[in-house]
Amino acid sequence: MRICIFGAGAVGSHFAVRLALGGHEVSCVMRGPHLEAVKARGLTLRVGDAEFSARVSASDDPAALGPHDIVISTLKATGVSSLATGLPPLLRDDTPVVFAQNGIPWWYDIGLPPGHPPPPDLSFLDPGGRLRATIPRQRIIGGVIFSANELVAPGIVVNNSTDRNMLLVGECDDRASERIDRLRAALDDALIQSPPEPQIRETIWTKLIGNMSISALCLLTGQTVKAAVQDPALRDVVPRLLQEAQAIACSCCPDVKRDTRGGAPADHKPSLLQDYELGRAMEIDALVRAPAAFARAAGLSTPMLDVVAALAIRQARAKGLYESERV
């Protein structure tokens, strides 16, 4: 297949290498020094002591890459609005788009299955409704990433979760489809695990339980996930945060459980902390503000998460990484 990775940073570059080595024709929308390095030397993926390299087409102009069979967006929530103008040159009439990001996605209320509680107003995730106006429902595939990666130099990505790299995908209305089967097969063949997920929103919440609590805590403390979870000073804080986060998730998907398939906590800085340290716009809305809106809609009391959220927003604003007057 012709596969485009739109927004090939750490995770996207990792997937691009694996898919290219799996025999697919891969192109990447990327920019800056990372783009120049990939044009000159290709992409390099380091996994433990092993190193893999692949040549991919790359550009900061989607029009230079042409149409594809599938587009996988690995953009952060803060940059996903750029798809409104960037996607059209990459699309055929039947090209689906996988929105693989952390947190609550902009399309959450589209194709909502029967019985799912109505979500709160999430328009702040798609300012001006640009994505909703330009990307029809039939193109939308939900995606949830479980893979810890870091760009250590332009053109070089290190995978920090060597035994666990997944991209779970599903239609926005949870129906079975041939294109999901084909995509899962391509991912599995490229050693990107993609087991069946009958309810994509449940998968979103499964990951978000940790992101809205532990990732935000790591931002405040500057610790890796492993260090925060094992910090004696936070022994009583961590379980209370997780309990409140799970209550929010269960108000939408009653059977959702915190994800524990990765085993022991990763000694890895979550993306929220990486973005803060690198001075990049932060996914506060998708990871912190949106879950808080669900909690209010469900009438839940989440005092621990409320404090962590307020401090996270303040910390991001103080560094100029959260451009909003929002609460």
pLDDT digits (tens, 9 = 90+) for 116-140: 899 999 999 999 999 999 999 999 9
Do 41 and 55 meet the contact criterion of CB atoms below 8 Å apart? no
Other CB atoms closer than 10 Å to residue 231's CB: what's the count? 14
Comparing 251 with 164, the larger pLDDT belongs to 251
Domains observed in the chain: 2-198 (3.40.50.720), 203-318 (1.10.1040.10)
Identify the burial level of 94 via C-beta atoms within 10 angstroms of its C-beta, where 0-12 means exposed, 13-18 middle and 19 or more buried: exposed
Q: Which residues contact 316 (CB under 8 A, 6 or more apart)?
A: 219, 276, 282, 284, 322
**Per-residue pLDDT tens over the stretch 63-100:** 999 999 999 999 999 999 999 999 999 999 999 999 99
Q: Structure pTM? A: 0.93
Give catalytic residues, as residue numbers: 207
What is the structure's pLDDT at 164? 86
Taking CA 57 as the corner, what is the angle to CA 52 and CA 58, rounded to the nearest 5 degrees?
A: 100
CA distances from 44 to 15, 34, 78, 124, 306 (A): 11, 11, 26, 36, 40
